């Protein structure tokens, strides 16, 4: 009886141990700490470019507002919007009646003054003869001193009158030249080769140019376009004239237009972007970078938006890794990365070069084909429960 009880105890103990062992195995299998997995990226070779990005606007290389220097009605317009014109070509005509009448009046004034001068010259001859007679008679005491003085005065006065008329004639001749120029200004010619990009005054409109020249037509040289790139003050110190630039258009993102940065305007561009803080307000500051591109096919239009890149550095077939793989920077300038080899992750210090903020150049410390860790499962955020809340608790 005692032996039977002892056997039952032993069997029960063994069964309990088996159950506990199975429970521990199930817990470890289903509820144990998950194994950490790594997200890696290959060390590869690629062309890398470090550049400053900016938004730009296309402008005509040269733009001239052709205006009227005289007043009057715009009689004829000889060009249409989009026409290509040559320097000296007739663009428009203003009714010349007023200018013609002004010229005739100025020419008549010149003739009048010249006639007066001829009359005074004849009178001067008469006074000169009278003065000679008075001098001869005075030498023989045959006339009074008063008569001699009168003759002398008449002669000198007439001579001065002629000098005044000569000055008036010069002034009248200048008025004639001015009237002729104003008459020529009624015919408006193209000052440059270019295209008509706007017509600001239509036929029949009255042009008034008493204060400033009224713009009739705007011409632009479109064979070459100027790009004005808006560079932020954070980047402007990194760029300089001579750097390679390129841009793409919103409607054609695949084609690049290359050039060289010509200049950076010293004064800031106006900007409407501003933000207010408790200590005051700050305004974004930009500077225009300028460069030209040929436009022989006239695909580029005035005021188009350009996505500009100013190239600072380039590296062909450089060894690269993602920027997200970089760790802490060491005192010697090197940066730590985690390299995944087989099933083991180890830390290395590498030296980096240029970057485009997505990829970074590796100068030494890694080989092509190795894998660097850019993340692991332990660093991933835990998924939140997606269970729907009960009615009335949303």
- Gyration radius from the chain CA atoms: 47
Domain assignment of residue 5, yes or no: no
Measured CA to CA, the distance from residue 42 to residue 322 in angstroms comes to 9
Q: Report d(CA 261, CA 242) in Å as an integer.
A: 5
Q: What is the pLDDT of residue 79?
A: 92
Average pLDDT for runs of 10 along the chain of length 394: 59 64 55 64 91 93 90 92 92 93 95 93 90 86 84 90 94 95 93 92 84 83 93 92 94 91 89 48 84 91 93 92 90 90 84 90 90 72 42 41
Based on the fold, state whether residues 115 and 167 are members of the same structural domain. Answer: yes
- List the Cα angle 18/24/27 in 5-degree steps: 140
Q: Which of 156, 184, 212 is the last residue of a domain?
A: 184
Domain containing 292 — which CATH number?
2.40.30.170
CATH code of the domain containing 372:
2.40.420.20
Res 219: pLDDT: 93
| Dist CA 96 CA 89 (whole Å) | 18
Domain containing residue 333: 38-48+315-377
Helix, strand or coil, per DSSP, at residue 231: strand
Whole-number Å distance between alpha carbons of 292 and 295: 9
Sign of CA dihedral 91, 97, 102, 105: positive
- Look at residue 288 and tell me if it is in a domain: yes
Domain annotation covers residue 79: no
Which one, of 229, 249, 253, lies nearest residue 54 by Cα? Answer: 229
Domain match, 306 and 336 both: no
Greatest CA span in the chain, whole angstroms?
Answer: 198
Q: What is the pLDDT of residue 135?
A: 87
Q: Are the C-beta atoms of 74 and 208 separated by less than 8 Å?
A: no
- Model-level pTM greater than 0.95? no
Q: How many CB atoms lie within 10 A of CB 238?
A: 13
Q: Are 264 and 228 contained in the same domain?
A: yes
Q: How many domains does the chain have?
A: 3
Residue pair 147/153 in contact by the 8 Å Cβ criterion:
no
Complete DSSP assignment for 93-140: EE--HHHHHHHHHHHHHHHHHHHHHHHHHHHHHHHHHHHHHHHHHHHT
Find out whether 264 and 289 touch, Cβ atoms under 8 Å. Answer: yes
The 10s digit of each residue's pLDDT in 273-315 is 444 444 445 678 999 999 999 998 889 999 999 999 999 999 9
Which residues lie across from 215 on neighbouring strands? 67
Same domain, 229 and 309: yes
Q: Which long-range contacts (CB under 8 A, 24 or more apart) does 121-130 make?
A: 121/162, 123/158, 124/155, 124/158, 124/159, 124/162, 127/151, 127/154, 127/155, 127/158, 128/155, 130/154, 130/155
Query: 3-16: per-residue pLDDT in tens?
Result: 555 666 665 666 66
Interval 108-125: pLDDT, tens:
999 999 999 999 999 989
Query: Rounded CA gap, 280 and 272, in Å?
Result: 16
Does residue 389 lie in a domain region?
Answer: no
Same domain, 101 and 162: yes
Same domain, 296 and 229: yes
Task: Kindly state whether residues 107 and 177 are assigned to the same domain.
Answer: yes
Residue 23 lies in a domain: no
Q: Indicate whether 136 belongs to any domain.
A: yes
Same domain, residue pair 180 and 234:
no
**Contact of 37 with 343, CB cutoff 8 Å:** no
């Amino acid at each position: 009886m005692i032996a039977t009880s002892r056997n039952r105890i032993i069997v029960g103990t063994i069964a309990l141990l088996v159950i506990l062992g199975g429970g521990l195995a199930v817990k470890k299998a289903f509820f144990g700490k998950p194994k950490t997995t790594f997200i890696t990226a290959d060390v590869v070779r690629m062309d890398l470019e470090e550049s400053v990005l900016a938004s730009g606007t296309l402008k005509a290389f040269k733009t001239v507002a052709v205006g009227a220097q005289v007043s009057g009605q715009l009689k004829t317009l000889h060009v249409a919007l989009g026409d290509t014109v040559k320097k000296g070509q007739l663009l428009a005509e203003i009714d010349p009646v007023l200018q013609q009448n002004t010229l005739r009046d100025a020419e008549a004034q010149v003739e009048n003054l010249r006639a007066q001068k001829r009359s005074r010259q004849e009178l001067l001859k008469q006074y000169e003869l009278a003065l000679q007679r008075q001098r001869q008679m005075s030498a023989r005491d045959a006339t009074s001193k008063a008569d001699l003085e009168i003759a002398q005065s008449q002669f000198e006065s007439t001579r001065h009158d002629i000098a005044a008329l000569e000055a008036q004639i010069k002034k009248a001749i200048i008025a004639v030249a001015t009237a002729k120029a104003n008459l020529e200004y009624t015919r408006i010619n193209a000052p440059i080769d270019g295209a008509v990009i706007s017509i600001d005054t239509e036929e029949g409109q009255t042009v008034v140019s008493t204060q400033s020249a009224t713009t009739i037509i705007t011409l632009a040289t479109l064979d070459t376009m100027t790009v004005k790139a808006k560079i932020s003050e954070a980047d402007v110190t990194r760029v300089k004239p001579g750097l390679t630039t390129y841009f793409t258009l919103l409607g054609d993102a695949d084609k690049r237009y290359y050039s060289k940065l010509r200049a950076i305007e010293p004064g800031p561009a106006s900007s409407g972007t501003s933000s207010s803080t408790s200590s005051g307000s700050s305004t974004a500051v930009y500077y225009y970078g300028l460069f030209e591109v040929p436009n022989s096919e006239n695909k580029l239009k005035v005021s188009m938006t350009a996505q500009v890149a100013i190239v600072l550095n380039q590296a062909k077939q450089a060894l690269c890794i993602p920027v997200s793989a970089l760790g802490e920077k060491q005192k010697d300038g090197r940066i730590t990365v985690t390299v995944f080899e087989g099933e083991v992750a180890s830390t290395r210090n590498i030296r980096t070069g240029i970057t485009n903020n997505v990829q970074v150049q590796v100068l030494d410390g890694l080989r092509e084909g190795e894998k660097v860790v850019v993340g692991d499962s332990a660093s991933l955020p835990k998924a939140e429960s997606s269970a729907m809340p009960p009615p009335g608790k949303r």
